[in-house]
Amino acid sequence: ELIEIARALKPYNGVYEIDYNEIDFTKLDILRSIREWKNIYVRVPGNQIEKVDLHSIFPYITGVVIDEVQGLDTLANLAIHKEAMTYCQNEYPSLRLVTVGGVKEPDHAIQLLNHGADLLFLSGEYVEVGPGLPKRIYEAINDSAFQEESRGWKDYFLFGLFITIGGLIALVLSLTSIVLPYDESFMQLPREELLLFNERLLWFMAHDRMTLAGTMISGGIVYMTLSYYGVKNGLLWAKQAIDIAAIIGFLGILFFIGYGYFDWLHLLFWIVLLPFYLGGYVKTKGIKRTPKSRNRRNDLAWRKGVMGQFCFVMLGFSFVLGGVIISGIGVTGVFVPTDLQYICMPEDLIHSFNGRLISVIAHDRAGFGGAMISVGLLVLMSALWGFQSGNTWLWWMFLIGGLPAFVAGIYVHIMIGYTTFIHLLPAYIALALFFGGLYFSKSYLMGKYSY
C-alpha cells in the first residue's frame, strides 16, 4: 500500500513522510522501493531521537522530521529540538533536518536555523501568536542581508515632489483668491458677483480646495518618503504602493471629464507628472527585495505595534472609503444636507443663479475624492506591507505626511465656520486613528526591541 501511494504521488512535487512507528523493520525493501519515486523523511518526536534505530534505515531516508513533544511548552520543545539536531549532526551529518513546533517568536526560528534546521514547521504557536508570524520570521532572516541602492527612485521622488509643490500652490490659492480666472471664464461669473450673491458659496469652495491641497501635500510627502527609503533600497512593496496609488490618481482624470468641467491647469499638472512616474516605473521594474525587520521577540513593543498597525490600516481604509463616497456624492447630488445648511440656500436656487457653478463645485469634489483614494491606498499598503521593526522612517512618514491633510482639513472648517459635528465626525474618527497609530506603533517602528 505504501508503495502504491508513493508511485501515485510521483508526478507531484514534495517528499514522502512516514512516522517512525509505522516502519516495519522486517520489510525495509519497501523503503528502498519508495525511495525510487520520492525522498523519504521519517518523523520522530524530539525526545526520542536518541532512542530510535535510525542506523538501519539511514541508507533509505533523506532527512528527519523532529516532531514536537505534546504537553510541553514552546521553550521546552525548542531546547529538545536543538539537542536532537546536535545528535543528528554528529551521528548522521548528511541528513536534512526539519522541525515541528518550538517557534513562538522570530528569535526561536533563528535559533533553530542557526542550529542547523533546513526547514521549520509552525504548530499551535501560529494560532496563538497570529498569522503574521511567518512574515516576521522571514523579515528577521532578511535583517542581515546586504542591500544595494536601486535605480529609478529619483524619478519617483520628483513625482512626489511636484505633487507637494502643486499642493502648496493650491493651498495658497485656497487662502487667497479661491477661484481662478479660468473658473470665472467657465462660469461667466466674476468672483465679486459670486460674493454678492452668497459669500458662503465662495467659502464652501475654499473648504473643498484647501482640503484637496492638504491631501496633495500629504500624498507628495508619502510618495517622496517611499521613494527614498523604500524604492531606493530595492523594496518591491514600496514600488507597488507607489504604482497602484499613482495609477488610480491618474485615472481620476475621468472624474473631471464626467463632471463636465476639465480645466487646463489639471491637464498641465498631469502632463508634468506623467514623465516622472513613467521614468520611475520603467527603471524600477527589476526590483524584488523583500522587507527586513529587527523584531525577534513577542515583547510589549510588538504587542503595541500590532494595535498601531491596525489603526493605520483602518485609517487608510477610511480614506479610501471616504474618497469613494465623496466622489459618489459629487456624481449624484453634489451636496449633502449639512452643506446646504451651511450655504443657507437650496440647490435649485444655486443652479438658477448660475448653471455652471455646481459643475465647478462638483469638479472640486472629484479632485478631492480622487486624491483621498490615492493617499488612502498609500497609507493602507504602507501599513500592511511596510510595518517592520526598525523602520523609523515609516513612523516619521505617517506623522509628517499625515499632518498637512489633517491640519488643512480641520482648520478650513473652523476658518469658514462649517463646524457641524456630524459633518466633522469622520475627520474626528480619522484623527483618533492617526494619533492612536502613532502612539501604539512608535516603540515598535523605532526598533526598541529585546533579544
The pLDDT score that the predictor gives to residue 145 is: 55
Strand order in the sheet with 63-67: 16-19, 40-45, 63-67, 96-100, 119-121
The pLDDT score that the predictor gives to residue 159 is: 97
The pLDDT score that the predictor gives to residue 152 is: 85
Q: How far apart are CA 432 and CA 411, in angstroms?
A: 16
The pLDDT score that the predictor gives to residue 450 is: 40
Which triple of cell numbers denotes residue 72? 510541553
Rounded mean pLDDT of 237-249?
Answer: 96
More confident of the two residues 405 and 255 = 405
Q: Is 60 exceeded by the pLDDT of residue 316?
A: yes
Q: How far apart are CA 118 and CA 116, in angstroms?
A: 6
Q: pLDDT for 118-164, tens place per residue?
A: 999 999 888 888 888 998 898 888 875 555 567 889 999 999 999 99
Q: pLDDT for 64-90, tens place per residue?
A: 999 999 989 999 999 999 999 999 999
Q: Is 60 exceeded by the pLDDT of residue 42?
A: yes
Q: pLDDT for 375-419, tens place per residue?
A: 999 999 999 999 999 899 999 999 999 999 999 999 999 999 999
Rounded mean pLDDT of 30-42?
Answer: 85
Start-to-end CA distance of the chain, whole Å, equals 49
Rounded mean pLDDT of 159-184?
Answer: 92
More confident of the two residues 433 and 361 = 433
Query: Residue 449's pLDDT band (boundaries 50, 70, 90)?
Result: very low
Q: Is 50 exceeded by the pLDDT of residue 240?
A: yes
Query: Residue 427's pLDDT band (boundaries 50, 70, 90)?
Result: very high
Q: Is 50 exceeded by the pLDDT of residue 451?
A: no
Q: What percent of the chain has pLDDT over 90?
A: 64
The pLDDT score that the predictor gives to residue 229 is: 94
Q: How far apart are CA 370 and CA 139, in angstroms?
A: 33
The pLDDT score that the predictor gives to residue 11 is: 78
Which triple of cell numbers denotes residue 408? 488643512
More confident of the two residues 414 and 330 = 414
The pLDDT score that the predictor gives to residue 393 is: 96
The pLDDT score that the predictor gives to residue 72 is: 92
CB 443 within 8 A of CB 325: no
Average pLDDT of the chain is 90
The pLDDT score that the predictor gives to residue 260 is: 66
Cα 56 to chain centroid distance, Å, stands at 51
CB 200 within 8 A of CB 342: yes
Pick the closest to residue 327 from 380, 359, 363, 381 (CA basis). Answer: 363
